[in-house]
Structure 1
Amino acid sequence: MTTNTSTRFRSTTQAKRSRRSAQDRRVALLFLTPAALGFLVFLIWPTVRGIWLSFTEYNLLTPEKFVGLANYERLFSDPVFWHSLGVTVQYVLINIGLQTSIALVVALLMHRLTQSTLLRGIILAPYLVSNVVTAIVFLWILDVQFGVANQVLEWIGVGKIGFLSDETWAIPTIALINVWRHVGYTALLIFAGLQMLPEDVYEAARLDGAGEIRSFFSITLPLLRPIMALVLIMTVIGSFQVFDTVAVTTGGGPANATNVLQLYIYDMAFGRFQFGYASAMSVALLLVLGIITFIQFRLTRAGSNDMN
Structure 2
Amino acid sequence: MPPKTSISSALSWRCPQCTVRTFASSSKLLAVGPEHPRYVKVPEPPQQTVPHNPPVKGTLPIPRNVFAGNSKGRSDDEIIALSTPSPKNPKNPPKGSREEWKAKMSEIRKQNLREGVKSLRARQISDERHQNVRQAAKQRERQELLQRPDREDERLTAPSNNMDLDALYNKPIPDPTREDRIRTKQLNLQRHEDMKRQERMEAVHSLYMNAREFIVTPQQLDKAVDAAFGTPEMPVQFGKFSTGVSNRSIWAEGRPERVQDKLNVANGQATGFAMRSAKSSSEINKERIRRIAETFTGGKIEKSVE
Give the TM-score band, short-chain normalised: under 0.3
TM-score normalised by structure 1 residue count: 0.18
- After TM superposition, the score normalised by the length of structure 2 is 0.18
RCO (CA 8 Å, sep 6+): is it higher in 1 or 2? 1
